[in-house]
């Protein structure tokens, strides 16, 4: 692992897991509780990234902990260096975050909550730059994808960067007035950039769904309200295995809300990630999952968590400016 970014200074520190490998069993206690005994929540990216904003919205009492990669965000929670992690899983414009789905499949962590965040991109430039002279634009690949029509309108060359807030920092460091960045307003303010255009995304319904990952599953009361449950499974290599395995959800009235597929290196064995409405302990869900198990070689539960009100048209996702 490459190390992570400390919560206050942005300085890269040695990863807690490495310290523990060298015999320091107390390493990570501060990271897990945070400053002033606050628990910490890991996220991928730099301060000002949309994942950082989601942490502030969904867990305002937690200390955000920036990590350079998704892998490190997962690993710091698994090692006890943070209480949980805020991980983007899919976007209404860009689709699924593919790397995250592979990490979900292989991780020991559980999904304990979800959060919908309204993404409002800004086109940013260094102070005093001529807007007509912009030639390139840097950002995370998903942000570039969400703004591809706007980028084409301005005839800009898209350049991939590690994350949105990092792209904002990079154009300041480079000082090239022909290079812009796509990031949040708070990332622009953090780095002293000018806002060339706000609401730069192609469509206004740009929403990213995050899941909160923790070492222990949450104990959700089935009577408390709607729930979402997730599993990862590998189907048997026989005709109609997926069709028959999912048939139990239809016959038991369980609504599937998401399905994603994986292939192994041989392209011969299929694995799937599914989410559905319902509590793991409800009779309908238990019957559906039992049926799925008959046609699967592996079946792993990832978590059951309260459905976010956004699913029911309640309080919409907020924008943190």
Q: What is the pLDDT of residues 151-172, one digit of tens each?
A: 999 999 999 998 899 999 999 9
For 275-283, what is the mean pLDDT? 96
Task: Tell me the C-alpha distance between 126 and 168, whole Å.
Answer: 9
pLDDT band at 285 (very low <50, low <70, confident <90, very high): very high
Task: Tell me the C-alpha distance between 299 and 320, whole Å.
Answer: 38
* pLDDT at residue number 317: 53
Catalytic residues: 208, 210
For 281-305, what is the mean pLDDT? 96
* pLDDT at residue number 19: 33
* pLDDT at residue number 23: 40
Q: Which CATH superfamily is domain 227-310 in?
A: ACT domain (3.30.70.260)
In order of 59, 156, 206, 302, the CA distances from 293 in angstroms are 35, 50, 36, 15
Which residues pair with residue 299 across a beta bridge? 233
pLDDT band at 105 (very low <50, low <70, confident <90, very high): confident
- Does residue 24 register a pLDDT over 50? no
The more confidently predicted of residues 312 and 296 is 296
Burial (CB count <10 Å: 0-12, 13-18, 19+), residue 277 = middle
Q: What is the pLDDT of residues 171-217, one digit of tens each?
A: 999 999 999 999 999 899 989 999 999 999 998 888 999 999 999 99
* pLDDT at residue number 98: 85
For 44-70, what is the mean pLDDT? 93
pLDDT band at 315 (very low <50, low <70, confident <90, very high): low
For 227-247, what is the mean pLDDT? 94
- What's the fold here for domain 122-198? D-Maltodextrin-Binding Protein; domain 2 (3.40.190)
Q: Which CATH superfamily is domain 4-117+210-214 in?
A: Periplasmic binding protein-like II (3.40.190.10)
Q: Do domains 122-198 and 227-310 have the same CATH topology?
A: no
SS3 41: strand
- Average pLDDT of the chain, as a whole number: 86
* pLDDT at residue number 197: 95
Q: Residue with structure tokens 């950082």? A: 52
Q: Residue 250: CB partners within 8 Å, gap ≥ 6? A: none
The share of the chain scoring above pLDDT 70, in percent, equals 86
Q: Where are the domains of the chain?
A: 4-117+210-214, 122-198, 227-310
């Amino acid at each position: 692992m490459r190390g992570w970014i400390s919560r206050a200074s942005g300085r890269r520190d040695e990863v807690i897991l490495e310290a523990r490998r060298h015999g320091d069993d107390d390493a990570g206690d501060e990271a897990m509780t945070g400053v002033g005994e606050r628990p910490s929540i890991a996220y991928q990216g730099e301060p000002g990234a949309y994942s950082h904003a989601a942490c502030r919205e969904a867990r305002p009492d937690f200390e955000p902990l920036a990590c350079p990669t998704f892998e490190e965000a997962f690993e710091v929670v698994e090692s006890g260096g943070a209480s949980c992690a805020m991980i983007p899983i899919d976007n209404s414009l860009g689709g699924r975050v593919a790397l995250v789905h592979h990490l979900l499949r292989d991780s020991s962590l559980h999904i304990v909550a979800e959060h919908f965040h309204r993404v409002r991109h800004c086109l940013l430039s260094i102070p005093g730059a001529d807007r007509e002279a912009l030639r390139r634009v840097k950002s995370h690949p998903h942000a570039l994808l969400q703004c591809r029509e706007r980028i084409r309108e301005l005839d800009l060359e898209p350049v991939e960067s590690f994350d949105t807030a990092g792209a904002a920092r990079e154009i300041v460091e480079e000082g090239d007035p022909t290079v812009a960045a796509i990031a949040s307003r708070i990332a622009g303010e953090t780095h002293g950039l000018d806002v060339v255009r706000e609401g730069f995304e192609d469509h206004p319904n740009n929403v990213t769904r995050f899941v909160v990952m923790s070492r222990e599953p949450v104990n959700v009361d089935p009577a408390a309200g709607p729930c979402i449950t997730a599993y990862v499974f590998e189907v048997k290599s026989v005709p109609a295995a997926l069709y028959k395995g999912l048939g139990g959800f239809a016959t038991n009235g369980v609504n599937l809300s998401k399905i994603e597929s994986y292939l192994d290196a041989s392209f011969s064995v299929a694995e799937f990630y599914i989410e559905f409405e319902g509590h793991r302990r409800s009779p309908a869900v238990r019957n559906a999952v039992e049926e799925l198990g008959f046609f699967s070689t592996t079946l792993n539960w990832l978590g059951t968590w309260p459905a976010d009100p956004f699913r029911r048209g309640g309080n919409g996702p907020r924008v943190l400016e």
